[in-house]
Each structure stands twice: as structure tokens, then as C-alpha cells.
Structure 1
């Protein structure tokens, strides 16, 4: 996108084409205007249109341009934080409600994919959270105990079983979450857009919002080419938010994350690495993730930005790390590389904000955008349609508050990841 092969890499090369869409031209009216063409915005548009509402979605660049088109493609249940910490942070009732919702969220994604025939390389064999050393093993054991107490279908695997599932002897164990899976993330976003259009939503790309003001009938949201006047506004731009609600961006710390994709592995080699097609990531603070795509490419990622000195440092590290994790792979070539930004909140939990009357947003996905974004969009549509009252939402209403030392922390993450990857292969 935008002639930048490092923005979406493999996903743009292998996703089905985006459905036709044009910039907004002229003035329109609607029941709902959705800002942002990622998972939350597209899910909101789809479900609101299915509820019979007139929906216009405005995307500043192209469908899936933000995190929705750049991520690893792991469809996980829950959030990064330990399950028991969610009600401890949010309160028992909303915390339990959020855990139940997000625990079931991957299933909702899979059902949408099947119901709308979305071609996105769906795999539903689960995900593996791989333990590095004794500390990592203690972490996943605690996580397993807390999920099992809530009836979740998770299994704690020992080192031998983990080696069988991953094809690597680098890990002390792993947590297999059978609720989860993988998708081709940009293909999924484009499929949601097609489904929303089929249900009557109107989607305009290359239409960044420049202003929003109260008007007769609700809100007038303007772009360079036109405007939409609607009773409700859904802001679904998350980590890529700019104007006219910069407070969403200000409360998030950007964590850069990159991926490299190998050339397709031959059949014999492919059978030794993630043979059941789970997606995986490890317990290190500067984590690694890995998965296969449908053609047998190994997608391998970690924290860092592929710009300036970061590109050669992270590329060399990825080669070294892959050789240690998967010695059988040899000196494999990379055919694509890309990166984006993860929006992190201070407690690693998402937020629900009422930015103004009838202007609402979920944001702060902390690297878990696929399943939460999908179900949050469905909930926003239900709330606007009057089926879900505010007190039944999965998160309490909070005010956006600026993150402390945001710019300093962002610089630290980018430079720190380079230092860490320059120093060693991390295993």
C-alpha cells in the first residue's frame, strides 16, 4: 500500500483484492458514520447494516491499512494480562463479562468467516504460548490454571509435547489454547468489507476525516471531498488515530512490531514445523512469534521497526534466531518483510470511551485486535441499535487520559529492541 512493500508485506501480496470503493464525494446522510476500515470499524458497519441501519464507513487510506492488515494473524482468546487480573482491575462483574466475551471471541470470528465465505486461510487448530525457561513455564502454568478454572479448553504441554507441536526443542513447555487459530489478516479485513457492502453499508476509502462538529441530525463528519451527517459516530482507528480525536492516540504507547516471511518451505521441511498449523509466540519480554501461511511460508516476528538501522539489525537477528529455534530450516531466504504499530495502554486492557454525545470508541487492543475488534464492533452496532444498554457493555465508560512519558517510551522500545536483537539471537 502507498508503494511501500514494508507496510503490509506478504499479506498484501497474497490477499484477495479489496472490494471496489471510492473516496467520499459530496454530502451524505446516514444513521451511523464509522471512521476506520479495520476490524472494529468493518464489524460495526456489517452488524449495523444487518440491523437495518444506514451506515457509511470512512477509511483514510485503504481497507485494512492499519494494524488489521499488518499483524501476525493470531486469533487469540482473552488479552495479554492474566485472566484473574481482568476482574481485579475492572471490577468483578465487568471483568467477568469481558473475559467471557473475549474467551468466545475467536469462535465469533470463525463463524463470520464461514457464514460470509471469507477467503482468509482460516486455521482453527489453536495457538501455542511457548515457555522459555523455568520462568516462562511458571507463567504459562499460572495462565493455564486460571483459564481452566473458568472452563476454558486449554492444555498445558510439557517440553516433549511442545517439541512435537512446534518442531523445536527450544521451549520448556507450552499452553495450547484450542479456542484460538490463525487467519490471513488483511484477507479477513477485506472479506469483512465485502460482507458489509453486501448488506448495504457504504464504504469510502482514501477519505481521511478532517473535522467533526455538531449539526442538525447529529454530527457532520467532513473529509476533503465531502461530508456525512449522522446521528452516531463510531471512531474505530485505534493506534492509527490522528484527528479529530487525538486523545485516543495520546493514551497509547506505540510498540513497533515486524514480521519476516520465508520462501515457501518444501513439503518435507514443512511437515516438521508446526505440523498442525497452530500459531505460536513465546514468553520473553521481547517476544517472538511464528506461524505458517497456507503456502508453507514461515512468518517470524518480534518487537522492532524496519526503518533506519533497525531493518538490517532485525533481519540479521531473525536469521540467527530461526537457526536456533529451527536448526532443520538451514539458511532460508526471506521473501517479504513488514511492520506496524501496536497501541499499548497502561494496564494492557482496552478502553471504551464516549468522546462526545453519541460518539463512541473501543480502542487499546494491546496486540490482540482480531477477535476483540470483531466482537466489539458487533457490540457497538447492538448498542447503537438499542439492543445493548450501556450498563451491559463489556467495558466501563472511561475518559481518555494521556500516557505518561509517551514519546520517551516509544523511542526506548524502538532503540531497545535494536540493542537486544543486535546483542544475541535470544535463545
Structure 2
């Protein structure tokens, strides 16, 4: 196991699952090389090992170092869009299949957690999509009607019902999805690593992939610790994609999502999220809210951390936001602040791209990494084991670059920072 290194998030420190991974001993020959030790890479390794495929994971830092160890930890069903929009975008063949598979995705995550006894503070009490204003209820009612027609266990909440479940009257109602829940995200990704290794996969940490080239019937991944020769390669780096495959990081726009966590607040916050549902609101610049098993309040929004837990713009934003939500808590301090990266696609749907024969990348998760990474990891294993691409929940995509990516990324970052400033006044 490699050294821990600097902490990247609250979850990095609070996860009960230990770190794992071994150094790469030199040149390796295997069936499947996986670049990236997050949800996707480790789920791919776990499911592939279950099919008898020899898999080696190559992680440049340590398990969960990217978005998997930094996200909010909401285990949500579906994607940003309501089912009707998904059907419109994906058509009559893939649309219903996508909706069904991603509607069941939280259950798939929870089943893995139960099967492998992952220590990740799991809750299965649902998540609440909360109306930040009265107009936010319109879209939530449409989502409720659609999911009800599909038989999903969702519940439309009045303002009073949301106040009872959250401890604040700041929201105008909400949509409670009983399929969903929360986890310690670092605990879950470390649990996947343990499970994958238990199934026979090898997880290498502290090894950086520097080049990828074809050599006959195989691919060779060149690294700073040797080479990996494999018939199949999965690039499982999502928002943390680098230049290993030219042009790949240009197919999505990168945004940041920051979070701050209070110390454990004890009995004074017993009325706040008593069921520990995760919350995110309908605001254009979204706010998320949850509590962890120790009683910390974790608050987040789009953009980078400006400053640190004890000072700076993001701390002022979080303090003001908590003051508006829960004035009875009084002055609250923060013990951790961090941010991670999200890969946003133009249509807000994830992709599976066949970059070349034998090379696949699932990418563009749009902030739904826990479920998407788990589902797409299973999809990768199925394809590599000889499955039919037509059975995927999305069609295989081409590598299509986002125009003016740098300008878009810069404009959004500036808008998110300005929003922090405005809301901290």
C-alpha cells in the first residue's frame, strides 16, 4: 500500500475502509488494463474479475484521489433530466433501457455494499430534490408524475413535509426518491477496491500511464513503473482525464463543485435531517446539503473553494447559507473545505466511447459519479467478456469535441465565484 499523502476531503479522513493498492513490480501482461482507480475503474475490475478476466488497475495517485473521494456522496437514481427528456434524447430503444437501468442504479450500489460489507456510512432513506423557490415545484411535479407512471417509489412533499425532514422552512416543497440514499464516497470507492482485489483483480497505486500504443493484437500502456500489455484497455478517468488519448479531455466541459463541513454538532442539530437524507435544490447554481454519521453538516455548491475552512469567500458563503437555513444553530465553524471536478457533456448525458478496437472509455458523468461509475463499470466488463454493444444503456459514441471549451470553462468558473460572493453578502 502506498503512503496516504495530504488529505483531499473530509471523506478521506473519515472513511473507515482502509486504503489499499500495491506498487507495480515492473512489466505486466494481463487481459485488461484499466487506467483510473475511481468508481468506474474499480467497478470494471470487480465485474471483470467475476467473469474470469484478468484485470490490472493503474492509479496515478491513490484510490479515490479524483472525483470519487471528493463528491457529495448522494446515491441518486436517473440523471439530471426527467425521464421524458431522456427518452427524447436517446430514442425509443435506448431511452427506456437507460431509464430502467439508471432508475435501478442505487439498488445496484447498495447491493454491492451489502454483499462486500463495505464500511461507508450507507443510508437508504432516500434523497430530497428541494424546491429553492415556489417556481421550482413546477418541474418537480412533472418529474413526480413521470416517475409515478413508471412505478418508481417517489413522493411529492409539501413545504411542511420538507421542513419536517430537513429542519428548515427555506424550501417550498420537494421530491423524495425512496430508491436513493447517501454514502461516505471515499468509503465506497475503497470498498470497491477491496472487493475487486478479493475477486482477483490487481490494483496498482502510484503508477502514472504516460502513453498508449498498439502492438499487434494487444495494447501497451507505458507507465513510469514499466509497461502493461493487454488485449483490452478501459480509460476510467472521467473529469480527471489527461492527454493520454489525444482530444479525449476536450469532449466535456469541466466544472468544480466545492464543499465545506462543520465539526460534529451533536444534539443541537438533532432536528436537522433526522433521517439523514441527502438534499440538493432546484437552483440554477445548485446547493447540496447532508449530514454524515458523526453529525457534521456538509454543505456544497458549484465552483472552486475560495480560501480554506477557516477563512475566505467559500467559508463566508457557507456560514451565510447555514445562517439562512438554520438560524437557531448560531455561529458555526468549519473543519474541512475541498472541491472536485465534474465532467459536463453538452446534453448532460454520459457517454461510452470506443476509441479504437479494444479501447473503451465511459465518460461525462455530469455529477452522478457513484451510480454512473458503478453501472458503466458493469457495462465495460460485459463488453469485454463478449457482450453485445446493442444491449448497452447508451449507444456507443464518437469522440466529438466541445467547441470553445476553454472559454466555456472560464466563464462558468467566473459565474460560480461571483455567485459565492453575491450569496455571502
1:243-254 mapped onto 2 (5 Å cutoff): 243-254=243-254
Q: Does 1:306 align with 2:305?
A: yes
Name the residue aligned to 2:182. Answer: 182
1:13-412 mapped onto 2 (5 Å cutoff): 13-16=13-16, 18-267=18-267, 269-307=268-306, 312-386=312-386, 388-412=387-411
Deviation string 1:281-317 (CA, Å, 9 cap, x unpaired) is 1000111101010001010001111146997112101
2: CA distance between counterparts of 1:312 and 1:246? 37
Relative distance call for 1:253 and 1:27 in structure 2 (3 A) is same
* Matched-pair contact (CA < 8 Å) for 1:247–1:402: yes
Secondary structure class of the residue paired with 2:134: helix
Could you tell me which runs of 5 or more consecutive residues in structure 2 were left unpaired when the two chains were aligned: none
1: CA distance between counterparts of 2:22 and 2:246? 26
Q: TM-score by structure 2 length?
A: 0.96
2: CA distance between counterparts of 1:19 and 1:314? 29
Cα distance, 1:234 vs structure 2: 0.8
* Matched-pair contact (CA < 8 Å) for 1:70–1:185: yes
Relative distance call for 1:189 and 1:322 in structure 2 (3 A) is same
Deviation string 1:141-172 (CA, Å, 9 cap, x unpaired) is 11111111111110000000010011010011
Name the residue aligned to 1:418. Answer: 417
Q: 303-312 vs 84-93, which deviates more?
A: 303-312
Could you tell me which runs of 5 or more consecutive residues in structure 1 were left unpaired when the two chains were aligned: none
* Matched-pair contact (CA < 8 Å) for 1:79–1:349: yes
Report how many aligned residue pairs link the two structures: 422
Cα distance, 1:4 vs structure 2: 4.4
Q: TM-score by structure 1 length?
A: 0.96
Cα distance, 1:16 vs structure 2: 2.9
Secondary structure class of the residue paired with 1:134: coil
* Matched-pair contact (CA < 8 Å) for 1:259–1:299: yes
Deviation string 1:348-397 (CA, Å, 9 cap, x unpaired) is 000110001010111100000101110110121011112x3011111111
Relative distance call for 1:182 and 1:292 in structure 2 (3 A) is same
1: CA distance between counterparts of 2:246 and 2:174? 39
